Amino acid sequence: MTDQSPFPLQGTSAAFEQAALAKFKALLVILPPDCRVYREIWDQSTVLCLDFCRCPGQLAGMQDQVVMLLLAANHLGLAQAISFRIGQKIKGWKSLTSTNI
């Protein structure tokens, strides 16, 4: 019997997180390849950060797709909020609770 898991678990939470982030990027083909995707802890929550420092012209278009981004992040267990950034500057913030879905 073969393992049909969507994530290749290698025994560490870091490996699981990297697999989940890779799955997020693979599912969202609209995400620019130069967009950096990572997670941060804010208070007691985890936020998915999308950094457009290498593709700032793509930021506005991705903010228009926030519902799809939030649903995918939540589905994969990555986060329930997204931070849109250009480097260290936060350009937008959305969460499942602040978005009408």
Q: Which residues contact 4 (CB under 8 A, 6 or more apart)?
A: none
Q: Please give the residue that has the higher pLDDT: either 9 or 97.
A: 97
pLDDT digits (tens, 9 = 90+) for 35-85: 999 999 988 889 999 999 999 999 999 999 999 999 999 999 999 999 999
Is the overall model pTM greater than 0.85, yes or no?
Answer: no
DSSP per-residue string spanning 47-88: EEEEE-TT-GGGHHHHHTTHHHHHHHHHHTTS-SEEEEEETT
